[in-house]
Structure 1
Amino acid sequence: MAPSARHTTAPALAHALSAAERGFPVIPLSPTKLPALRSPHRHEDRQVVCHGECGRPGHGVHDATTDPAAVRALFGAAPWATGYGIACGRPPHRLIGVDLDVRSPDDDAVELRHLALRHLFGLPRTVTVLTPSGGMHLWLTGPPNVVVPNSASRLAPGIDIRGAGGYLVGPGSVSARGTYRLAPGTADLSPAPCPRPLLGLIAPPPRPHPTTTRPHRQGHGLIHFVLTAQEGQRNTRLFWAACRAYEHGLGDALTEALVTASVRTGLPEHEARATVQSASRLTAG
């Protein structure tokens, strides 16, 4: 007899709850390693920029949570889930994933060691997840003031980085190709801090602060409004503040400050810029 959806989901839920208990925000994944819940806006006629503000599940990594009740609700809505994803870049761990490609994990590991030698940093002992196709994921943590973006083979061929807005498949997940499992000797480890030289390679340089214009006092209030956004409010608050800025002729002067404030709250930079551009278009119309 084929296993029921409940029996298939139960191990994934158990692993996800264990990860959430340790402070890792999680979402259910399908056997394809994609978020198990589809967007609730997929049938709407107009393009919707929503990261969960509507209150419905199905927003990918934006659904990730450490709340046990919310985790159970997500998996309850996705009984076909066989794995779970861990959101990167989110407090308290601010996880950074170094993904060594399946095609040649040994060569990629050597390439990573060459980078370490070239840039004078050591590779710390850290949580390591072995993928069913032969690759591996190294878990590292980042500082609170640095946003690491996702990238593919930018650091080196075959080495991808999972940062803010991305996720890692958690150990114990089952995909169509097999099971993700912890490497021997790493089960009791915590993610190690990312070496500073490596962080410098994968994080964008800080943007220079504009010196030609000084925001009006109202601009400081809008920035503070964005900075104090809680999870689930970030995109909405940014859009509202950007609309007010453009309506008062401060949009261009405040764009970088509003984007920076949103990134500090955990919103990926590309999404923050898209939201500000949407506000610009709306107020221009």
Structure 2
Amino acid sequence: MTQPDTLNIALDYAARGWRIFPLLPGTKRPARPNHRERDCTGTDPRCRNSHTGWDARATTDITRIRRAWSSTVDSPAYGLGIATGPSGLVVVDLDTHKPDTDIPEPWNRFGIRTGEDVLDHLAGAHGGTITPTFTVRTPSGGTHLYYTAPEGVRYGNTAGTIGWLVDTRAHGGYVVAAPTVLGSSSYVVTDDRPPAPLPWFLLDLLSQQRRTAPPAAPKRLDARPERVPAYVAAAVSGEVRKVAEAMPGEHNHTLFCAAVALGQLVAGGALAEHTAYDALTDAAHVLMAGGCRCTPGEVDSTIRSGFATGARNPRIPNTSRSAA
């Protein structure tokens, strides 16, 4: 795609009030800043006073947008990111089933294989409808549904907690926007109508999560690594490191995947649930202290959802290995 195409689309998004920022060519990663907060030296002009992440750099300013896509050799190939929360959006990310993964119940029993079908089922179960809205097809065959967020309500991100293969992006998150290219495919707008208000059944589902979220950080428990076999402790440390070092925009997904991996060990009897929970919440709080806008309630919900998913495929300890 040529520079004028990408630039003009970026300017069109900005005119809609959507705050955008460039992504590194061929990736989902923000082009700026090119460092984590912990590695910030203040040499980046926008970090002179303090670290300034992608969310603070997202903009609707025409001058800044033109400069971003014309300042370097790589800039014409930059992808487009939209900061969902500041743009007043809740984007529903509908994925597709990966052939080498199990289909959880009850979806397997229903013959459901895609996030679109899951959302359709949830809408029917709650007496709602999926309102036609601005829609994007992703390179993997998934779908992004763009909805306007209700006034005065701040939603965070979710990963599989509403339903299998259904994630949402709002405050603290972003989506890769069309016409960004990944590999040999690109994000494509399939319905260019203005975003519709978030459907009532999704408002109810997201509001239920807000009501059940604890008001404060989860209680921290005493969980010493030496109480588990060395290889289990190493697995815990590895997943914790992934969470603490997650790139912006991938926090919730990384936390969920880590919770699934440790949930398998919990279900297999190799690890106490409170030990895994404490380790993951500590790592998530590192992200929150570093500028991630997820709430303790969202962290708790993501971890417990990951544990439930992991429990469906327990990892039984190798007794000879654990005795070594």
Structure 2 length-normalised TM: 0.54
Residue 11 of structure 1 corresponds to: 5
Q: Which moved more, 1:120-129 or 1:75-84?
A: 75-84
- The one-letter amino acid paired with 1:37 is R
Which residue of the partner structure matches residue 299 of structure 2? none
In the alignment, structure 2 segments of 5+ residues that lack a partner are 99-111, 216-291, 297-324
Question: Structure 1 stretches of 5 or more lacking a match?
Answer: 1-6, 210-266, 272-285
Residues 1:146 and 1:71: Cα distance change in structure 2 (over 3 Å): same
User: Does structure 1 residue 35 correspond to structure 2 residue 60?
Assistant: no
- The equivalent of 1:247 in structure 2 is none
Q: Please give the root-mean-square deviation of Cα atoms over the aligned residues, in Å.
A: 3.4
Aligned length: 201
Q: Which residue of 210, 219, 231 maps to 1:205?
A: 210
Residue of 187, 190, 193 corresponding to 2:194: 190
Q: TM-score, length-normalised on structure 1?
A: 0.61
Counterpart of 1:90 in structure 2 is 86
Deviation at 1:61, TM superposition (A): 2.6
Does structure 1 conserve the Cα–Cα contact (< 8 Å) formed by 2:127 and 2:201? yes
Structure 1 match to 2:118: 111
Query: What amino acid maps onto 2:198 in structure 1?
Result: C
- The residue that corresponds to 2:293 in the other structure is 268
Deviations 1:45-72 (A, max 9, x none): 78x9xxx674799622321100111112
Given that residues 99 and 138 in structure 1 are in contact (C-alpha distance below 8 angstroms), is that contact kept between their aligned partners in structure 2?
A: yes
2:162–2:205 Cα contact (<8 Å) kept = yes
**1:77 shift after superposition:** 5.1
Selected match of 2:15 from 21, 28, 38: 21
Counterparts of residues 1-285 of structure 1 (less than 5 Å): 9-30=3-24, 31-39=26-34, 44=39, 54=48, 59-76=53-70, 79-80=74-75, 81-91=77-87, 94-103=88-97, 107-183=114-190, 186-187=191-192, 189-203=193-207, 204-205=209-210, 268=293, 270=295
Q: 1:253 corresponds to which residue?
A: none
d(CA) in 1 for partners of 2:200 and 2:27? 34
What letter corresponds to residue 108 of structure 1 in structure 2? G
Deviations 1:140-174 (A, max 9, x none): 11112111111111111111111111112222221
Say if 2:133 and 2:196, in contact at 8 Å, map to a contact too.
Answer: yes
AA at the equivalent of 1:268: R
Cα deviation, residue 32, structure 1 = 1.0
Query: How far apart are 1:190 and its partner, in Å?
Result: 0.5
State, as a whole percentage, how many aligned pairs show the same letter: 33
CA distance in structure 2 between the aligned counterparts of 1:157 and 1:132, rounded to whole angstroms: 19
> 2: CA distance between counterparts of 1:32 and 1:72?
21
